[in-house]
Amino acid sequence: MNKKFDLILFDLDGTLFDTAKTLLDSIKGAVKLAGLRELTDTELGTFIGPPVVASLKGYYPHLNEEEIEELAAIYRDYYIDKEMLKANLFPGMQEVLKKLKTNGYKVALATYKLMKCVVPLFEKKDVSKYFDTLRGSTAETGMTKTDIMRWAIEDCKITDYDRICMVGDTEHDLRGAINLGVSFIGVKYGSGFKGLTEEEKNYEKIVAYVDNAIEILDYV
């Protein structure tokens, strides 16, 4: 491979793993356990991508901060206990990761998902071996995708940001790339890019939008 980059950052949900059903089933389960009104399919679809607390606040504005956190905790427990390990890599992704590792790229995870969810999933699916570092959310509030990406980059000790590319499926991933000034590959098979400005759509370091995982190799 003719390497254009030294470090490839990956989002998890909707990019590496097809987690949509597991996440939405967990939201439905948590809402039912909490005795709240059920969400429509359209409303549920908006949970894919952004942090779950932000979405819950939007649909249950009558709940205070503590109640929202309790609901989010119910969701996380439901996800970990019943749904988490059901997710699978998207078709072709294992080959992509294997080739990147074999050809000397540094590979990192940068996800909103809690690390206590990331580690068991990666161990179960035997993909940790392809990654130089795994970075996800912690209990700390106010964490952005940019923060998580920056930590992953620091872990990998890559200082030339022109040699870094983020791969993701949502506006959060693209905005993180813009904020850090790194290149971006968008995957069309994930959640989709919502509410982008014209400036964001025309970011000069967007490399490509791909229809499937294996196409990523054509651009890195």
Q: CB–CB of 191/16 below 8 Å?
A: no
Which residues in the chain land under pLDDT 50?
none
Cα(62)–Cα(37) distance, rounded to whole angstroms?
12
- Looking at residue 141, the DSSP 8-state letter turns out to be S
User: In terms of Cα–Cα distance, which of 67, 23, 66 is closest to 47?
Assistant: 23
Q: pLDDT tens, 50-95?
A: 778 889 999 999 999 999 999 999 998 999 999 999 999 999 999 9
CATH class of domain segment(s) 7-18+87-218 = alpha beta
What does each C-alpha distance from 4 to 37, 94, 153 come to in angstroms? 49, 20, 17
- Domain residue spans in the chain? 7-18+87-218, 20-85
Strand partners, 107: 8
The two tokens of residue 104 are: 């000397």
Provide the CATH number for the domain formed by 20-85 in this structure: 1.10.150.240
pTM of the model: 0.88
Q: What's residue 141's pLDDT?
A: 59
pLDDT at 143: 81
